[in-house]
Structure 1
Amino acid sequence: MTTATTYRTLLRTPGAAAFFAPTAAGRVGIAMTSLSIVWLVRDATGSYATAGLVTGAFAVADALAGPQAGRLIDRYGQRRVLPPAVLAHAAAVATLVLSAAGHAPGWLLAAAGALVGATLPQLSAVAQARWSALLDGPRRSSLPAAYALESLSNSVAYLIGPALVSTIAAAGRPVVGTLAAAALVVAGGGVLALQRRTTPPVVPRDARRPHHRRALLRPGFLLLIGVNATIGGFFGTMSIAVTALAVERDRPGLAAVLFAASNGTGLLAVVLYGLRPWRPHPRRQLAAAGALLGVGSLPLLAAAHLPAVTAGVLLTALAVPVVLVLGAVLADAVVTRGVLTEAFAWLGSASAAGSALAATVAGLAVDSRGAGGGLLVAVAAACATAACTLAGLRALRPPPGPVPEP
């Protein structure tokens, strides 16, 4: 596969574009959902505290329910689980919108927000499972590029989605933003459910063996959970620390510039990574990317020197998306096909949990030590990620024989 045609060739694989396009649209809706809830609840109640409570309930429910939804998909198949899932999500969003319009109490709004999170379709995990099934056999070497394409789609969604919601809400239509997010999620998930050609086969009930469930407890997969949790911690910390740095310098616009530079660098990194095959084993690539993240974060310790902080932001942005892509590649290799969707969902939940926990710690650090304290937490999270990836050199070593499959 030549460098210039990697992504184009992937999308020309029979059936690939048909499921990639609706997934990309649905991802934009997912990227809009959390912020749209903030705008909706703030407009209805006038309280940022209530908006934060409802958004937090949404995030926690999504993180807890996501792996369970993935488990159902692995057991019963995407065609049977996705349609009721998207309908349940539509009903949950309608419940939240009506509750907000009716000025429901905070606890009821939080319950509705949790329902929205619990029913959010796991489109990324579903798409990754489809790529794994589509690129089986001799095309397996294209899997890292496919996961890089998924990462690229996700990054673009999180550039477009929040900006779109903010624009709609700023025009005085926060309800429209929430409904637009739900429409994209439901439409993307619904169209994806109709794409039967690339649906991964379901492992028959009588062929499921105990090793399928045990695959999620293998040291290699647990280590990947740790990688995603710590890199999620880095995400959550940087959003707090960089904002605090900009406020301390009395240059609020600086945060937007640094975030834009980070996002642009990350997009470039994942595009370039997926454009060519790499010779080292993925676990070695993961260790190298993790080391770059750890070393690249060290300039963040010089919080008083903006050029050093900028260098740290750009260096870590080069490493983060590659670590996430390789985590998906290695998870695909470590677990069995019967729990693959659930495994991908667990990785996403680990990132969300790490981000939420680290954001809380970073907030406390900023309150006590200023932006420098928050950046110190970010460096600690980056170094923890690097340590996990280095441990993967051993824990993710291929087994002497093939992984048993039914």
Structure 2
Amino acid sequence: MLKPYRELFSIPGTLAFSAAGFLARITMSTVGLGIVLLLSAVHGRYGLAGLVSGTYTLVAALISPQVGRLSDRYGQSRLLLPAACVFTVGLLSLVVCAVTGAPDWTLFAAAAVTGCGMPSVGSLIRARWAKLYSGTSRLHTAYSLESVLDELVFVTGPILVTALTTQVHRMAGLLAVWALAVTGMLWLSAQRATQPVPHGPEHHAGPSLIRLRGLRTMFVVMLGLGGLFGSTEVVTVAFVDHAGHRPLTGLVLGTWALGSALAGLVYGATRFRTALHRRFLIGVTAMWLATFLLLVPDDVYPLMGLLFVGGFTIAPTLVSGMGLVEALAPKARLTEAMTWATTGITLGATAGVAIGGWAVDEYGSRSAFLTTVFSGTIAALAAYAGARKLAPRPPEEKPVVHADLEELGT
């Protein structure tokens, strides 16, 4: 099963950019949590901590498609160095403002600056794989690998930042995340040979790619899936806490990510004859159906088992989704297109956390899993409503980049 993954790294530079990307994407699961841990320790105000963390997440989600567009136009290396500088200024300012008791508005300003300096690293790495293996079966394996690495970050990142913040020093968690992320971004910036070739201004004129055929449908589906992720996480935390097993929270969520990672490994090593868009529809349907399982358990251990089973639906669905984005988007703007997909997940997750938390307070943790079912329903309805738009046209019918851009106005 591991042979296809070993073959990915037969091209020089692939292992280096994959490792750099792994370090840089540590922010995915740590910055928001680290902000909450730091501010709650300093101020004892979880409400303020949540709002500042939400500011970072929202700004990062909104700015990343524009960063992706600039990356396609000027090259990843020219964007990553300024991004690392902005991220450094923002995050270190946030830490300093927190520990010195600066006014609350400075925390929000620093969080916004931090978000502006955080590109969608996963999209940058996937664009590099697409440059090397587009049109081959290895791209499917590469996207599966990226999904597994995402899950690994979500398993290890929170453990790292929580342990450092609570056991070493209240600033240690965010400072460690800053060091790892900046190291990864600078290392990735130095690797020019494997980055996608930048395209000139003539390839980037016109409206945003969100208006392109199929990508708008994909964005809405990803919003629903993001809501599923966010609501499941916050309701699971509440469920475990209310059951009196709070120390098991990380383990319970870890089983969910573990199921996804294992499924991603198997999925990436398997060759399919089913069309990509059909596999995506099957995956979205499976994720939606799996949400109903969460309404069943009344104790932590059955919930852990069902989360593990549900996790098997995640990575194959996301891998198929990113494959669809690669097939639908103009090659000159691939990073931007992938970033719109990840932005949809991030925005959906932000809303899912908020709505799921409200549902826990109003109806209890067990009933609050209905918000997860609702999010999955939105994703499934959007996927089937736009199914025809998700089917990539045959290569001989697929227009060249200029024609793709002309279509944006329709």
Aligned to 2:132: 134
Structure 1 position 113, deviation (Å): 1.1
The TM-score with structure 2 as length reference comes to 0.91
2:356 aligned with 1:362: yes
The structure-2 alpha-carbon separation of the partners of 1:130 and 1:255, relative to structure 1 and needing over 3 Å to count, comes to same
Specify which of 154, 171, 190 is matched with residue 194 of structure 1: 190
Contact 2:159 2:250 in 1 (8 A): no
Output the amino acid matched with 2:24: G
The alpha-carbon deviation at position 342 of structure 1 amounts to: 1.4
Q: Please, which moves more after superposition, 393-402 or 247-256? A: 247-256
Give 1:122's match in structure 2, choosing from 97, 120, 123: 120
**Aligned residues between the structures:** 400
Q: Supply the distance in 1 between the matched residues of 2:291 and 2:75 (Cα, whole angstroms).
A: 41
Please give the alpha-carbon distance, in whole angstroms, between the structure 1 residues aligned to 2:44 and 2:306: 38
Write out per-residue CA displacement over residues 69-120 of structure 1, whole angstroms, 9 at most, x where no aligned residue: 1111112111211111111211222222222232101111111111111111
User: Structure 1 residues 28-37 or 7-16, which shifts more?
Assistant: 28-37
Decide whether aligned partners of structure 1 residues 333 and 254 sit closer, same or farther in structure 2, where only a CA change above 3 A counts: same
* Pairwise CA distance, 1:387: 2.7
Contact 2:152 2:257 in 1 (8 A): no
Q: 1:255 to 1:101 in 2, by over 3 A?
A: closer
What amino acid does structure 2 have at the position aligned with 1:160?
A: T
Distance 1:35 1:250 in 2: 22
- SS in structure 1 of the partner of residue 292 of structure 2: helix
Cα deviation for residue 229 of structure 1 reads: 0.8
Matched, 1:270 2:264: yes
- Aligned-residue sequence identity (percent) comes to 29
Correspondences of 1:249-288 after superposition (within 5 Å): 249-253=243-247, 255-288=249-282
- What is the rounded CA distance, in whole Å, between the counterparts of 1:329 and 1:344 in structure 2? 10
* Equivalent residue runs for 1:4-403 within 5 Å: 4-137=2-135, 140-208=136-204, 210=206, 213=207, 215-253=209-247, 255-304=249-298, 309-310=303-304, 312-399=306-393, 401-403=397-399
- The 1:42–1:220 alpha-carbon spacing in structure 2 relative to 1, beyond 3 Å, is same
Contact kept, 8 Å, 2:77 with 2:190, in 1: the verdict is yes
CA distance in 2, matches of 1:312, 1:391: 29
Deviation at 1:312, TM superposition (A): 4.1
Which range is displaced more, 11-20 or 145-154?
11-20
* Deviation at residue 207 of structure 1 after TM alignment: 4.9
SS in 1 for 2:171: helix
Contact 1:293–1:320, Cα closer than 8 Å, also in 2: yes
Q: 2:276·2:323 contact (CA, 8 Å) conserved in 1?
A: yes
Gapped runs of 5+ residues in structure 2?
Answer: 403-410
What is the CA distance between 1:257 and its match in structure 2?
Answer: 4.2
Q: CA deviation at 1:316?
A: 2.2
Check the 8 A contact 1:95/1:112 in 2, yes or no. Answer: yes
- The question of whether the paired residues in 1 share the 8 Å contact of 2:210 and 2:340 is answered with no
Deviates more, 1:113-122 or 1:389-398: 389-398
- Offset of residue 311 of structure 1: 5.5
Deviation at 1:308, TM superposition (A): 6.6
Indicate the RMSD between aligned Cα atoms, in angstroms. Answer: 2.1
Q: Which has the higher helix share?
A: 1
Supply the distance in 2 between the matched residues of 1:364 and 1:340 (Cα, whole angstroms): 37
Aligned partners of 1:121 and 1:189 also within 8 Å: no
Distance, in Å, in 1 between the alignment partners of 2:168 and 2:190 is 35
How far did 1:45 drift? 2.5
Tell me the alpha carbon deviations over residues 192-214 of structure 1, each in whole angstroms, 9 at most, x when there is no partner. 0111111101122245564xx46
Give, as a single letter, the amino acid of the residue that structure 1 aligns with 2:139.
Answer: L
Q: Which amino acid aligns with 1:236?
A: G
Change over 3 Å in CA distance of 1:247–1:209 after alignment to 2: closer
CA 1:48/1:365 → structure 2, altered by over 3 Å: closer, same or farther? Answer: closer
CA gap 1:100/1:254 in 2 versus in 1, 3 angstroms: closer
Moved more, 108-117 or 394-403: 394-403
One-letter code aligned to 2:266: L
Partner-residue secondary structure (3-state), 2:252: helix
Secondary structure in 2 matching 1:201:
coil
The one-letter code sitting in structure 2 at the alignment partner of 1:282 is: L
Structure 1 residue 243: Cα displacement: 2.5
**Separation in structure 1 between the aligned mates of residue 367 and residue 155 of structure 2, nearest angstrom:** 27
Conserved 8 A contact 1:299-1:311? no
For 1:259, give the aligned amino acid: L
Q: 2:144, 2:265 within 8 Å by CA — same for their partners in 1? A: yes
Contact 1:234–1:355 (8 Å) recurs in 2: yes
Map Cα deviations across residues 335-375 of structure 1 (whole Å, 9 max, x no partner).
Answer: 10222111121112111111111222222222222123211
CA contact (8 A) 2:281 2:383 kept: yes
Deviation readout 1:297-325 (Å, 9 max, x if unpaired): 22223354778745642332111122111
- Give the deviation of 1:18 after TM superposition: 1.8
Q: In the alignment, residue 158 of structure 1 is paired with which amino acid? A: F
* Counterparts of 2:170 and 2:128, CA distance in 1: 34
Partner of 2:408: none
Q: Scaled by the length of structure 1, what TM-score is found? A: 0.92
SS of the equivalent of 2:401 reads: coil
**CA offset at residue 146 of structure 1?**
0.6
Contact 1:293–1:383 at 8 Å: present in 2 too? no
